[in-house]
Amino acid sequence: MNPFFAIVRRDARLAFRQGTDTLMTLAFFVIAVVLFPFGVGPEPNVLARIGGGVVWVAALLASMLALERLFQADYEDGGLELLALAPMPLSAVALAKVLAHWLATGLPLAVAAPALGVMMNVPGDVFPVLIGALLLGTPTLSLIGAIGAGLILGARRGGVLLALLVLPLFIPVLVFGVSAVEMAAQGLSPAASLLILGGMFLAALALAPWATAAAIRQALE
């Protein structure tokens, strides 16, 4: 079988069988959003004002949780070295792992978002835009996050460091993701923001696997 999809299947199967990554990501997502009505009061107008932003920030933070371990297990047991020596380019390996990671974390986030949107009083007709924006944004977050995951291999306190490294790079995705939802909530067209999100995804798709491979190679030297 195609070696690319062999890696995707293996990683995805491992992730789903264990379930911890998906569960942890979703649990954090739900908890983070649910805390807001308690924090800012349950007044529906207030929640609706900040709803899009809250759901997005919570999704962004949740998607970071499982990043630290993206390459960790393979790095520790030597599997990563074998993959680096394989005929398949390391950037393709990285892309395959990112795809599996996104299927286990980003995709569930996008699917769960409407339920949380309801809790934040986000208007129902905004949900398609919310899901669409997350479907465009979360893969970008996974791609950028993978660069960070490669950089911290072997570092002390990798988890915290990873957050510091990738959060500045996440901000553009967040800005346009929320903008799309806000525009839709006001009845305007979210097309411009969605297009920019799409553009960022394509740029990340083209560049991030290559940077991730460079980061992994540094770790393996």
Partner 1 sequence: MKRLDWFANPARFLRLARAVQPWAAGVALVAAAVGLYLGLFASPADYQQGESVRIMYVHVPSAWMALFCYTALAGASAVALIWKHPLADLAAKATAPVGAAFTFLALLTGSLWGKPMWGTWWVWDARLTSVLVLFFLYLGYIALNGAFDDPTRGAKASAVLALVGFVNVPIIKFSVDWWNTLHQPASVLRAGGPAIHESMLAPLLLMALAFKAYYVWVLLIRIRAEIAAGKIRAARLRETRVAAS
Q: How far is the CB of 95 from partner 1 (least distance, A)?
A: 16
| Footprint (CB under 8 A) of partner 1, residues 129-148 | 147
| Footprint (CB under 8 A) of partner 1, residues 159-178 | 161, 164-165, 167-169, 171, 175
CB atoms within 10 A of CB 40: 13
214 binds partner 1 per the rule CB under 8 A: yes
Nearer to partner 1 by Cβ, of 17 and 221: the residue is: 221
204 binds partner 1 per the rule CB under 8 A: no
The CB-side HSE value for 15 (13 A sphere, CA atoms) comes to: 27
218 binds partner 1 per the rule CB under 8 A: yes
Q: Residue 1 contacts by C-beta under 8 Å, 6 or more apart in sequence? A: none
Nearer to partner 1 by Cβ, of 10 and 217: the residue is: 217
Q: DSSP string of the chain?
A: --HHHHHHHHHHHHHHHH-HHHHHHHHHHHHHHHHHHHHH-S-HHHHHHHHHHHHHHHHHHHHHHTGGGTTHHHHHHTHHHHHHHSSS-HHHHHHHHHHHHHHHTHHHHHHHHHHHHHHTT--GGGHHHHHHHHHHHHHHHHHHHHHHHHHTTT-TTHHHHHHHHHHHHHHHHHHHHHHHHHHHHTTS--HHHHHHHHHHHHHHHHHHHHHHHHHHHHHH-
Token pair for residue 95?
Answer: 């892309």
158 binds partner 1 per the rule CB under 8 A: yes
Nearer to partner 1 by Cβ, of 122 and 151: the residue is: 151
Nearer to partner 1 by Cβ, of 24 and 174: the residue is: 174
Nearer to partner 1 by Cβ, of 27 and 171: the residue is: 171
Nearer to partner 1 by Cβ, of 57 and 215: the residue is: 215
* Number of residues lying near partner 1 (CB under 8 A): 22
192 binds partner 1 per the rule CB under 8 A: no
205 binds partner 1 per the rule CB under 8 A: no
Q: How far is the CB of 103 from partner 1 (least distance, A)?
A: 24
Give the residues lining the site for partner 1 (CB under 8 A). Answer: 147, 151-152, 154-158, 161, 164-165, 167-169, 171, 175, 211, 214-215, 218-219, 221
